[in-house]
Structure 1
Amino acid sequence: MHFETNSTQRSTWQFDEPCFGQEQFITESFGAYQQQARLLIPDQERAAPVFVVGGARSDFTRLNPLLYRLQQLGIGSLTGNLSGHSLASEPGAAEPSLASNLEEARRFHRHIAPRCRTLIGHSLGAAIALKLAAQTPAIDTLVLICPAIYPDAAHQAPFGPAFKAAISKPYGFLDCDSFEFLRQFQGRVLLVMGEYDGLNSHRYGHGAGTSAGTLWLAGAERYSPIPEEVTRGLLGAVPPPHLECLLLADCDHGIAAHLRSAPEVADQVANTVADLLLG
Structure 2
Amino acid sequence: MPHAVISCLHANLAAVEAVLADIDRLGIDTITCLGDLVGYGPQPNEVVELVRERGIPSCQGCWDEDIIEGLNACECSYPSQLAERRGHLAHHWTAAQLTDENKDFLASLPTSLRRDRSLFVHGSPNSQHEYLLPDMDAFAALERVETAGADTLFCGHTHRPYVRDLSNGSIRVRVRGPQGSSQPQQERQMQLPMRRIINAGSVGEPRHGSTRATYVVHDAESGAVDIRDVPYDVERTCQAILEAGLPPIFAWRLSHGFEYAERADDASHVCER
TM-score when scaled to structure 2?
0.30
**If the length of structure 1 is used for normalisation, what is the TM-score?**
0.29
Q: Which has the higher contact order (CA 8 A, sep 6+)?
A: 2
Q: Which one has a bigger Cα radius of gyration?
A: 2
